[in-house]
Copies of this chain bind each other. A is one copy, B any other.
Amino acid sequence: MRTEIAKLGEFGLINHLTKDIKFHNSSSLLGVGDDAAILDFCGKQTIVTTDLLLEGIHFDLTYVPLTHLGYKSAIVNFSDIYAMNARPTQITVSIGVSKRFSVEDLEDLYAGIRLACDRHGVDLVGGDTSASMTGLCISITCIGEGENGKIVKRSGAKENDLICVSGDLGAAYMGLQLLEREKAVFAGMKEEDIQPDFAGKEYLIERQLKPEARKDIIELLATKGIIPTSMMDISDGLSSELIHICKASNCGCRVFEEHIPIDYQTALLAEEFNMSLTTCAMNGGEDYELLFTVPLELHELVSKLEGIRIIGHITKPELGMNLVTRDGVEVALKAQGFQHEM
């Protein structure tokens, strides 16, 4: 079924897409349908982050289903809020769409956004829809709440702090390589003939198309009474984020290649593609894992936490930011990030 967006009109479309939204947070007083939303954060600090996703730059609809795109668009914003040791509570979603998209397409996009919201207890409180001359454009702003004194910035890392990461790295990047390869293989074929074989590589595809924001890690740290000294989410790659933390905290760092957590599917595919596994893990990006530092005294406690790996430590700034390879050679970290981020 295909309903033309013009049939509903702007306000009809917003109504249609948001009519049965229910709130999760007592701080959400008024949502979609007025000039602005009304929130009440008394006693908490308010966290705000925003992300702009553009077709052809941040996503390729050839292989990204709209539901997944919606889910991921919301998740990457939640991830930024968790990375402040806070909890996402509201989002606003603005979309620009060309005539190529139908109401059903946007329902799929919103279904993904709302699934992410439901899983993370976030309320969709506003937004804007508009025509676009070209591709799809998604802008999400996420608001969250943090406890006074427990919000974690990039700037608090201190000499001797331990550097930790959650989960594993490089898988989302390898998933992207895989999707790009299949896209090239199937270029020019009819849609019904395309049967990509991702057997044994599902994890990589899922990490790229349906990343998760590490709410569980934030909750785990809270349970253990751990407040990191600095924290970021890994969106542009570990190297890039380590450099951000070191610069913001005026310190150096030393991380060890052998401690970087990598899934075996990532390692297998890097070998198949003849790519450097460490480069994929250090610079791949889009893992949305958490990178954080904790005081050295917490070594025993943190080393026992499941899903968290200590990968190195913070040093004096004059020692620089280095990766120690398996051969014991120190290599200066380079921020490469993602090409699409300019």
Which A residues have a C-beta under 8 Å from some C-beta of B? Answer: 5-6, 9-11, 13, 27, 29-30, 33-43, 45-58, 80-81, 83-84, 86, 90, 92, 94-96, 125-135, 137, 139, 141-144, 146, 148, 151, 153-155, 232-233, 244, 248, 337, 340-342
Copies of chain A in the complex? 2
Could you list 30 examples of A-B contacts with CB < 8 Å? A10-B337, A10-B342, A33-B248, A34-B84, A34-B153, A35-B81, A36-B81, A36-B86, A36-B142, A36-B144, A37-B47, A37-B49, A38-B47, A38-B84, A39-B45, A39-B48, A40-B148, A42-B42, A49-B92, A49-B126, A52-B128, A52-B139, A54-B96, A54-B131, A54-B137, A94-B139, A129-B342, A131-B340, A131-B341, A131-B342
- Bound form: Cα–Cα A23–B34 in Å: 28
- Bound form: Cα–Cα A10–B337 in Å: 10
- Are the C-beta atoms of B144 and A48 separated by less than 8 Å? no
- A130-B341, A130-B342, A153-B30 given as contacts; is B57 within 8 A of A96 (CB)? yes
- Bound form: Cα–Cα A145–B206 in Å: 40
Contact of A56 among B6, B129, B133, B244 (CB under 8 A): B133
Contact of A342 among B5, B84, B126, B143 (CB under 8 A): B5
Q: What distance in Å separates the Cβ of A86 from its nearest Cβ neighbour in chain B?
A: 8
Given pairs A56-B133, A131-B340, 15 additional interface contacts (CB within 8 A): A10-B342, A29-B45, A34-B154, A35-B83, A36-B48, A36-B83, A37-B47, A41-B41, A42-B42, A46-B143, A48-B143, A50-B128, A52-B96, A54-B131, A57-B133
Give the interface centre of A58, A83, A129, A130 by most chain B CB atoms within 10 Å.
A130
- Are the C-beta atoms of B128 and A51 separated by less than 8 Å? yes
Q: Which residue of B lies closest to A125 (CB)?
A: B48
- Bound form: Cα–Cα A45–B81 in Å: 20
Q: Which residue of B lies closest to A80 (CB)?
A: B35
Interfacial chain B residues near A54, Cβ < 8 Å: 96, 130-133, 137
Interfacial chain B residues near A6, Cβ < 8 Å: 342
Contact of A233 among B35, B55, B57, B148 (CB under 8 A): B35
Q: What distance in Å separates the Cβ of A154 from its nearest Cβ neighbour in chain B?
A: 5
- Are the C-beta atoms of A39 and B34 separated by less than 8 Å? no
Interfacial chain B residues near A90, Cβ < 8 Å: 48
- Are the C-beta atoms of B35 and A340 separated by less than 8 Å? no
Q: What distance in Å separates the Cβ of A246 from its nearest Cβ neighbour in chain B?
A: 14
- Are the C-beta atoms of A48 and B337 separated by less than 8 Å? no
- Bound form: Cα–Cα A341–B84 in Å: 36
Q: What distance in Å separates the Cβ of A18 from its nearest Cβ neighbour in chain B?
A: 13
Interfacial chain B residues near A5, Cβ < 8 Å: 342
- Are the C-beta atoms of A48 and B57 separated by less than 8 Å? no
Q: What distance in Å separates the Cβ of A7 from its nearest Cβ neighbour in chain B?
A: 10
Contact of A50 among B83, B127, B155 (CB under 8 A): B127
- Bound form: Cα–Cα A73–B139 in Å: 15
- Are the C-beta atoms of A36 and B47 separated by less than 8 Å? yes
